[in-house]
Amino acid sequence: MMKTAVTALFYCFSQLGWLAGAAPVPMMGMGTLRPSGIPQARDASRDGCPCPMFQLSAMEATAEFVVESPDVVYGPDAIEAQYEYRTTCVSREGGVLKVYPTSTRFTFRTVRQVPRLGVMLVGWGGNNGSTLTAAVLANRLRLSWPTRTGRKEANYYGSLTQAGTVSLGLDAEGQEVFVPFSALLPMVAPDDLVFDGWDISSVNLAEAMRRAQVLDWGLQEQLWPHMESLRPRPSVYIPEFIAANQSARADNLILGTRAQQLEQIRRDIRDFRSSAGLDKVIVLWTANTERFCEVVPGLNDTAENLLRTIQLGLEVSPSTLFAVASILEGCAFLNGSPQNTLVPGALELARQRRVFVGGDDFKSGQTKVKSVLVDFLIGSGLKTMSIVSYNHLGNNDGQNLSAPPQFRSKEVSKSSVVDDMVQSNPVLYAPGEEPDHCVVIKYVPYVGDSKRALDEYTSELMLGGTNTLVLHNTCEDSLLAAPIMLDLVLLTELCQRVSFCTDADPEPQTFHSVLSLLSFLFKAPLVPPGSPVVNALFRQRSCIENILRACVGLPPQNHMLLEHKMERPGLTRGGAVVAACPVPCKKGPAPTAPNGCTGDANGHSQVDAPQMPTT
């Protein structure tokens, strides 16, 4: 039974676009690095078509759709949708929980024009940065290359937006119709992204790709001439924030005071935006894990104090400098490492400037599995009491994490991933009770970017029994992180084009500056003050999907399929009327037993059932 359940979990991962993915979505435009000989596909929404619509089928891999509803209006500039948000409010009265259904009417407006988007990576020359750049180039150039198992073609497997699908509903035959996640709303095509960034190492992106040892040699050879001219801008290096073993790479630095470094970062952002002719820039930290920065009243607790701290040259981490510079330039900032980059002062500054920020720490391998497996165990009523996670890896991330202060940052982000699942079940866990949770990371240079993760989960069963699951997971670290970085950028940009109002508050507003919608992609997701932290992976994915569905007036995906569970189906769908159960039975009609029972018992026919005596 447990083996079947775990197998089902890995099938679910394939539906998330992690272990498998759909065919890549057709290209939608031309980026600056695309050779002129590669054709450009047209986007109907850019040509003024108010409601692009293609034929759908249950097996359609790529499609756009239109919602036929009086609550949805496709204008030339925006999609406007009326949406009824239904939830519940719970109060405790005299020992009784009283539940009150509530309803709020939203009007969502999504701008249809897709901007020209630039991405600036802090740590561009690292494994993640060079791999993401290579992936976009390989897809843009439609590259293929030989391997020992055959030819491989560029794709975006592992990306929720590019390789994941969503269900629109049932067709006339009762079959679910799936479309790519990216078809829900107009999104930037990943092939159109323009890259730039900073790194403390001066090597160009081709050399960085070769140093990372992530990609097959045949692919590296094809990408080399396209990446050789890409070189990171100088970056900020403050030795006490990262491991001492990183000093050998630090030959490409922004010098001067903290205030001068901040101004140089801002100039770099402005230069990139203007020189590349961009509409928007998003800054993403994918550089080294830093040690935690202590939050000190008067130093970094407010926006004013943080800006003064920078001017005075007091302690501030490099990642916080980049965050502040991005916010001041009106650019969203995303933190892909576990340290507390977004200190309270940075969060307040983002709120004041109405700029999106998100973090912390890409959720790519072992932690993603953990956020599913623990949810499965506790959701099944099993009391997980011990979680032991061991990792070893040999890339530069592993070398940096071999220093205790940097490891502590990672340990905190990896350990908090099960908290909400434990707290969700007071039947199993008393207040303050939680599983033993141990995280170990070791540096083994030989394995390179191929991180090995070993986990042991021990749970209590009924009547004193125990169940232990042991899992070995080989994670190609950067090949898992790169599509997550892609999704972060694309979803953040999409959220910048969404606004909404309610009947009670007709003034348009946007999402909170702390973009918690991105929690699916982070180990330790940041949320607005007072908001619940959700780590369970499927709840996080449902949040993204259902908010995007709301933007086109579709109800949330509830998986009830009531039309298939009724004795006398009475729900109607568009199209032809079909039988109550459209799925063909694997066996013939069940025989009628002498005792009047029909059907099978545990897969065995009732034909030979004994006759019941009659009197």
CATH number, domain at 422? Answer: 3.30.360.10
Q: Is residue 602 scored above 90 in pLDDT? A: no
- Per residue in 397-411, pLDDT (tens digit) is 666 665 666 666 655
Higher pLDDT, 276 or 438: 276
Q: What is the pLDDT of residue 436?
A: 93
3 state DSSP class of 180: strand
From 478, 500, 531, the end of a domain falls on 478
Q: How confident is the model at residue 594 (pLDDT cuts 50, 70, 90)?
A: low
Mean pLDDT of all residues in 558-574: 77
> Domain range holding 609?
585-615
Higher pLDDT, 111 or 586: 111
Closest C-alpha to 512, from 355, 379, 397: 355
In a domain, 612, yes or no: yes
Mean pLDDT of all residues in 484-512: 97
Q: What is the pLDDT of residue 238?
A: 94
Tell me if residue 455 is catalytic: no
Percent of the chain with pLDDT over 90: 64
Q: What is the pLDDT of residue 398?
A: 65
In a domain, 460, yes or no: yes
Tell me if residue 523 is catalytic: yes
Alpha helices in 189-330 (DSSP H): 205-212, 217-227, 258-275, 303-312, 318-328
In a domain, 438, yes or no: yes
In a domain, 194, yes or no: no
Q: Is residue 45 scored above 50 in pLDDT? A: no
Average model confidence (pLDDT) for the chain?
84
Q: Is residue 520 scored above 60 in pLDDT? A: yes
Mean pLDDT of all residues in 425-430: 94
In a domain, 186, yes or no: no
Mean pLDDT of all residues in 440-460: 88
Q: What is the pLDDT of residue 450?
A: 81
Q: Is residue 19 scored above 70 in pLDDT? A: no
In a domain, 377, yes or no: yes
The 3-class SS string of 40-75 reads: CCCCHHHHCCCCCCCCCCCCCCCCCCCCCCCCEEEC
Q: What is the pLDDT of residue 570?
A: 67
In a domain, 269, yes or no: no
How far is CA 397 from each of CA 360, 401, 511, 567, rounded to the nearest angstrom? 16, 6, 33, 57
Which of 410, 414, 449, 487 is catalytic? The answer is 410
Q: How confident is the model at residue 596 (pLDDT cuts 50, 70, 90)?
A: low
| Count of domains observed in the chain | 2
Q: Tokens 């897969």: give the residue.
A: 603
Mean pLDDT of all residues in 460-477: 93
- Per residue in 140-187, pLDDT (tens digit) is 999 999 999 999 999 999 999 999 999 999 888 888 999 999 999 999
In a domain, 376, yes or no: yes
Q: Is residue 415 scored above 70 in pLDDT? A: no
- Per residue in 215-251, pLDDT (tens digit) is 999 999 999 999 999 999 999 999 998 888 888 889 9
Q: What is the pLDDT of residue 494?
A: 98
* Packing angle of the helix pair 318-328, 344-353 (nearest 10 deg): 10
Higher pLDDT, 482 or 393: 482
Q: What is the pLDDT of residue 487?
A: 98
Which of 360, 361, 397, 455 is catalytic? The answer is 361
- Per residue in 277-327, pLDDT (tens digit) is 999 999 999 998 898 888 999 999 999 999 999 999 999 999 999 999 999
How far is CA 156 from each of CA 217, 286, 323, 463, 484, rounded to the nearest angstrom? 19, 19, 28, 47, 10
Q: What is the pLDDT of residue 18?
A: 43
Mean pLDDT of all residues in 340-360: 97
Contact at 8 Å (CB) between 50 and 75?
A: yes
Q: What is the pLDDT of residue 287?
A: 93
Which of 451, 455, 477, 487 is catalytic? The answer is 451
Higher pLDDT, 280 or 432: 280
Q: Is residue 586 scored above 60 in pLDDT? A: no
From 452, 478, 504, the end of a domain falls on 478
Tell me if residue 152 is catalytic: no
From 478, 500, 517, the end of a domain falls on 478
List CB contacts of 260: < 8 A, sequence separation 6 or more: 254
Q: What is the pLDDT of residue 405?
A: 62
Q: What is the pLDDT of residue 255?
A: 96
Q: Which two tokens stand for residue 508?
A: 């348009």
